[in-house]
C-alpha cells in the first residue's frame, strides 16, 4: 500500500511539473487529423470506413499526397473533439494510429514588427539566450533621466523608484535618454508592437538623477545607487559619466557591491584613452561601444576602465540604421516615438540586460557575474589599446556558461522532450513493474548527458570514439573468438580494454596496476596533445579508461600484487578520478596544443 501511495504521489507530481513547465505548455497546433490505416486490410474495407466517417462526421477524408496510397495515409479536417470521437469509434480497429496533423514552422524571432531593425540584438546572440531565460525575477535599476511608460513598455513590470532631481516619488522622463536606455534592457517583447528588449521579463526601477538638460550631481547619483541597493535591485545601469573622482560615489558603489548588486556604466563618448567615471571605479563594469560592423565606434572612450564592449551604434550622416532603435519620448512634446540613438550610453544597457539574464540563470555574486560576462565574451586579438576590454558581449555564451554545472528543471524537461521520453506509451508499456527501471534509466542517462555536456564538451568523431572503445571495453566480442590453429594471443589482446592488457598478456583476469592506472592515458596525452585530430583519441582513451577502472572498482577489483580487497578498490577509484581530472584539464578553455 505504501509503495502504491508513493507511486501515485510521484505520478501526480510529475504530471503537475509537466503541465506547468513553460517549454511544454504549447502542445502544438493543428486543424486536421492523420488516419493511418493498417497494411493488412483491403481497399474495400478502407473505402467503407472512409465513407462511414464522411457520413457520420460530415467531413471528407483524402489521401495526403500522391505517395500516400501505398501506406494508406488519409487526412481529414478536424479538431480535438473529432480526434477524441474517432479514437473511441470502430475506426481504431482498422488503423495503426489516429493522431493530430501538427503544424510545424520555422523557428522565428520575436513578433515585434521592427525587431528586424535591431542589428544590435543579433550581434550579441540574444535569441539563443532567451531559450534559457528572459530575466524573470530580476530588477534592473536605471539611473538616468527617468523612465516614461511609453507604449512598448506597457507589458514591462516596474518597481518603486525615485526622482532625486525634483525630490519626488514619480521618476518620469523629460529628456528621452533614460526611457531609451530602459528599452534596451527590458522593452516589452513578443507583444506584436515596436521592438524588443534583452531581459524583457525583468523589472525596471526608474531612478531620475539627470535633469531635462541631461546634467546631474554626484550627490544625487550616489544616493540613487544606495536606494537601488536597499530596494532590491539586482543590476544597476548608469549610462552617464564625467571627470573627477568622488569618494562619496565610491562608497556608494562599494555599498551596492557588498549587497550583491552588479553595476554597469558607460565608458564615455569623447574618444579618450580612458573611461569616464563612474565606469573607472572598482566594482563597476565599464562598457565601450561597437558600431554595426563590430569594431569600436569612433566616439567611444577606450583604455583604462573598459571591461567589455557592446553595441552602441554609429550613424553615418543621416542614416538611422546604424543606431540603436528603441521606443522613447520626444523631449519637446512628451509623445512616444521610436528613435535610433548612438553612444556608450546605448552600449552599457546591453551589458546590464545580459547581466540580468546571467543572474536569472543562477549566478548570484556580482564578481562571479562579471567573470561570466568576461569569460564568455568574444575575445579580440591584438587589442593593445584596450578598445574592447575582455571582448565583445555574447549573451548566449554568457547564459550557457552561467548554467554550466547546474541541474535545472527547465533543462531536464527540455531533455525529456527532445529525447522522446514524454511519449506516454514509453511509460505505460510494461506496466508498473517496468516503471522503476525506466525511471532509473532516464534519470541516469540524463545525469550522464548533463555531466558530459558540462564538463567534457568534446566534439564527437571517429578518433574520440576509437579512444573510448579502446579505453573502456576493447573489441570485447573477439576475446572468445577461436580460429583453428591460430594463436589466441592477438584475439585476447584486441578483445581487452587498455586496463586489461596486462592481464591479457599474462593470461589472467587480474588487472595489472601499470596498465590499470592513469599512466597510459597520461603518456598518450603528452604525445598526442599537439596533434589536431589524434589528441581526441588520447582524450577518448582517458575517459574510457576512467569508466573501465570505475566499473572494475565496483564489480571486480581483482589486481595483481594488490589482491581484490580495499587496497585494490581504492587504487582503481583514485586512478579513475585522476583520469577524469586529466581529461577535464585538457578540455578546459585555454589549454591549447603547441
Quick check: is 564 catalytic?
no
Residue 207 contacts by C-beta under 8 Å, 6 or more apart in sequence?
141, 142, 143, 144, 146, 161, 162, 164, 171, 224, 227, 228
- DSSP 3-state assignment of 550? helix
Cα 328 to Cα 340: distance, rounded to the nearest angstrom: 10
- Report CA torsion sign: 266, 269, 271, 275: negative
Quick check: is 345 catalytic?
yes
Answer for the pair 279, 266: CB distance below 8 angstroms, yes or no: yes
- DSSP 3-state assignment of 169? coil
Answer for the pair 169, 176: CB distance below 8 angstroms, yes or no: no
DSSP state of 134: S
Cα 350 to Cα 393: distance, rounded to the nearest angstrom: 8
- DSSP 3-state assignment of 511? strand
The crossing angle, in degrees rounded to 10, of helices 535-555 and 566-587 is 160
- Extract the C-alpha cell encoding 221: 547619483
Could you tell me the maximum CA-CA distance found in the chain, to the nearest angstrom?
Answer: 100
DSSP state of 259: T
Measured in degrees and rounded to the nearest 5, phi and psi for residue 317 equal 65, -130
Q: Name the strand (E) or helix (H) holding 262.
A: strand 262-266
Cα 174 to Cα 332: distance, rounded to the nearest angstrom: 8
Quick check: is 257 catalytic?
no
SS3 readout for 410-442: HHHHHHHHHCCCCCHHHHHCCCHHHHHHHHHHH
Mark 155-165 as b/e (b = at least 16 C-beta within 10 Å): ebebeebbbbb
Cα 55 to Cα 62: distance, rounded to the nearest angstrom: 14
| Residue for grid cell 517496468 | 434
- Extract the C-alpha cell encoding 560: 595483481
Q: Name the strand (E) or helix (H) holding 227.
A: helix 218-230
Answer for the pair 570, 559: CB distance below 8 angstroms, yes or no: no
Answer for the pair 499, 488: CB distance below 8 angstroms, yes or no: no
DSSP state of 91: G
- Of 148, 274, 288, 345, the catalytic one is 345
- Of 32, 72, 148, 177, the catalytic one is 177
Answer for the pair 102, 165: CB distance below 8 angstroms, yes or no: no
Q: Name the strand (E) or helix (H) holding 506.
A: helix 501-506
Answer for the pair 197, 188: CB distance below 8 angstroms, yes or no: yes
Q: Name the strand (E) or helix (H) holding 396.
A: helix 395-403
Query: How many degrees, rounded to 5, is the angle at CA 135 between CA 132 and CA 141?
Result: 160
- Of 101, 112, 132, 144, the catalytic one is 144
- Report CA torsion sign: 169, 172, 175, 176: positive
Query: How far, in Å, are 150, 496, 513, 525, 585 from residue 519 at the CA level?
Result: 66, 17, 10, 10, 16
Annotated catalytic residues are 144, 177, 345
Amino acid at each position: 500500500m505504501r509503495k502504491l501511495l508513493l507511486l501515485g504521489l510521484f505520478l501526480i507530481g510529475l504530471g503537475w511539473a509537466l503541465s506547468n513547465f513553460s517549454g511544454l505548455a504549447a502542445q502544438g497546433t493543428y486543424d486536421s487529423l492523420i488516419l493511418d490505416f493498417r497494411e493488412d486490410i483491403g481497399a474495400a474495407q478502407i473505402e467503407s470506413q472512409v465513407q462511414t466517417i464522411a457520413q457520420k462526421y460530415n467531413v471528407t477524408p483524402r489521401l495526403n499526397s500522391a505517395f500516400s496510397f501505398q501506406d494508406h495515409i488519409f487526412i481529414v479536417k478536424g479538431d480535438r473533439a473529432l480526434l477524441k470521437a474517432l479514437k473511441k469509434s470502430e475506426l481504431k480497429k482498422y488503423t495503426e494510429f489516429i493522431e493530430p496533423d501538427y503544424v510545424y514552422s520555422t523557428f522565428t524571432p520575436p513578433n515585434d514588427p521592427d525587431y528586424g531593425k535591431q542589428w544590435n540584438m543579433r550581434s550579441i546572440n540574444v535569441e539563443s539566450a532567451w531559450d534559457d531565460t528572459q530575466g524573470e525575477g530580476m530588477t534592473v535599476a536605471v539611473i538616468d533621466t527617468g523612465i516614461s511608460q511609453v507604449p512598448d513598455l506597457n507589458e514591462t513590470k516596474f518597481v518603486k523608484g525615485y526622482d532625486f532631481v525634483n525630490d519626488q516619488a514619480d521618476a518620469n522622463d523629460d529628456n528621452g535618454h533614460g526611457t531609451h536606455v530602459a528599452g534596451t534592457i527590458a522593452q516589452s517583447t513578443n507583444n506584436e508592437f515596436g521592438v524588443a528588449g534583452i531581459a524583457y521579463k525583468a523589472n525596471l526601477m526608474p531612478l531620475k538623477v539627470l535633469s531635462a538638460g541631461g546634467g546631474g550631481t554626484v550627490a544625487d547619483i550616489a544616493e540613487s545607487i544606495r536606494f537601488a541597493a536597499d530596494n532590491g535591485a539586482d543590476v544597476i545601469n548608469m549610462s552617464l559619466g564625467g571627470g573627477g573622482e568622488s569618494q562619496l560615489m565610491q562608497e556608494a558603489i562599494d555599498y551596492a557591491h557588498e549587497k550583491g548588486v552588479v553595476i554597469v556604466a558607460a565608458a564615455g563618448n569623447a574618444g579618450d584613452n580612458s573611461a569616464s567615471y563612474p565606469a573607472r571605479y572598482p566594482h563597476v563594469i565599464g562598457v565601450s561601444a561597437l558600431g554595426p560592423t563590430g569594431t569600436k565606434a569612433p566616439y567611444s572612450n577606450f583604455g583604462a576602465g573598459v571591461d567589455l564592449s557592446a553595441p552602441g551604434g554609429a550613424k553615418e550622416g543621416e542614416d538611422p540604421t546604424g543606431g540603436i532603435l528603441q521606443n522613447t519620448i520626444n523631449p519637446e512634446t512628451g509623445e512616444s516615438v521610436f528613435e535610433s540613438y548612438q553612444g556608450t550610453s546605448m552600449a552599457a544597457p546591453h551589458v546590464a540586460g545580459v547581466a540580468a539574464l546571467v543572474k536569472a540563470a543562477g549566478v548570484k555574486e556580482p564578481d562571479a557575474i562579471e567573470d561570466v560576462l568576461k569569460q564568455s565574451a568574444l575575445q579580440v586579438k591584438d587589442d593593445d589599446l584596450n578598445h574592447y576590454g575582455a571582448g565583445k558581449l555574447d549573451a548566449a555564451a554568457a547564459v550557457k556558461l552561467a548554467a554550466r554545472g547546474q541541474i535545472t528543471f527547465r533543462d531536464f524537461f527540455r531533455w525529456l522532450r527532445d529525447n522522446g521520453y514524454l511519449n506516454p506509451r514509453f511509460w505505460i508499456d510494461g506496466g508498473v513493474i517496468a516503471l522503476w527501471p525506466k525511471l532509473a534509466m532516464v534519470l541516469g542517462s540524463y545525469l550522464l548527458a548533463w555531466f558530459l555536456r558540462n564538463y567534457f564538451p568534446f566534439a564527437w568523431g571517429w578518433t574520440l570514439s576509437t579512444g573510448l572503445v579502446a579505453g573502456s571495453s576493447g573489441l570485447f566480442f573477439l576475446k572468445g573468438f577461436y580460429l583453428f590453429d591460430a594463436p589466441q594471443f592477438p584475439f585476447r589482446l584486441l578483445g581487452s580494454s587498455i586496463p586489461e592488457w596486462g592481464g591479457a598478456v599474462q593470461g589472467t583476469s587480474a588487472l595489472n596496476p601499470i596498465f590499470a592506472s592513469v599512466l597510459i592515458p597520461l603518456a598518450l596525452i603528452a604525445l598526442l596533445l599537439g596533434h589536431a585530430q589524434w589528441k581526441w583519441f588520447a582524450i577518448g582513451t582517458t575517459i574510457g579508461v576512467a569508466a573501465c577502472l570505475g566499473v572494475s572498482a565496483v564489480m571486480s577489483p581483482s589486481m595483481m600484487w594488490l589482491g581484490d580487497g580495499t587496497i585494490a578498490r581504492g587504487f582503481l577509484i583514485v586512478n579513475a578520478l585522476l583520469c577524469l581530472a586529466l581529461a577535464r584539464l585538457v578540455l578546459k578553455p585555454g589549454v591549447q596544443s603547441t
